[in-house]
Amino acid sequence: MFFIVITLLVLFSPVIPAVQDRDDKFLEKAIEEAYRGAECGDGRPFGAVVVQNDGVVVSCHNMVLRNKDPTAHAEITAIREACQKLNQIDLSDCEIYASCEPCPMCLGAIRFSRIKRLVYGAKAESAIVAGFTHKQHLEIKKAEGTIAMLAEQLFEKTKSMFPS
């Protein structure tokens, strides 16, 4: 039993630090991007790096202020740029490294891009505590009656155009 444990340790222990180093390396790049973006005034301090195999596809930061685009968070910018660069809409062979835990918008974007793995540094809570957040009331109304029925019909009427 002791021999088996030792063998397993010898066999598998080098793998863990290697993956750790790889993850740390790309995450460090995302953190550097975050600083760069804040320093040049492009946006808040958030960075994201998309990796394919072991190579960096794109390294981006928050571009909200620069692009005057409230959706231009680091992760969304990175996904858009990676898709353009790779000329593909599906990033299922890619990973994303984010300096901070993605917000629901960015997490949605990561899922839509089919990225297979997300590694993040800081907790989202830390960004909120430091004041990197905002509150705004949003009134939400679900339509009713005929117009709601017309909206519901959309999917059935166009379904055949999108074979799964």
Binding positions for a copy of itself, 133-152, rule CB under 8 A: 134, 136-143, 146-148, 150-152
Contacts with 66 (C-beta within 8 Å, 6 or more apart), sequence order: 41, 42, 43, 72
Region 88-107 residues binding a copy of itself, contact defined as CB under 8 A: 88-92, 99-101, 103-107
Distance CA 76, CA 61 (A): 9
SS3 150: helix
Q: In which residue are the tokens 């599906």 written? A: 90
Region 41-60 residues binding a copy of itself, contact defined as CB under 8 A: 44-45
Choose the catalytic residue: 75, 125, 139, 144: 75
Q: Which of 27, 49, 51, 74 binds a copy of itself (CB under 8 A)?
A: 27
Q: Which of 2, 3, 12, 155 binds a copy of itself (CB under 8 A)?
A: 155
Told to judge if 125 belongs to the known catalytic residues of this protein, a careful annotator would answer no
Total of residues contacting a copy of itself (CB under 8 A): 83
SS3 47: strand
Query: Residue 126, interface with a copy of itself (CB under 8 A)?
Result: yes
Query: Residue 113, interface with a copy of itself (CB under 8 A)?
Result: yes
Distance CA 121, CA 6 (A): 32
Q: In which residue are the tokens 């808040």 written? A: 44
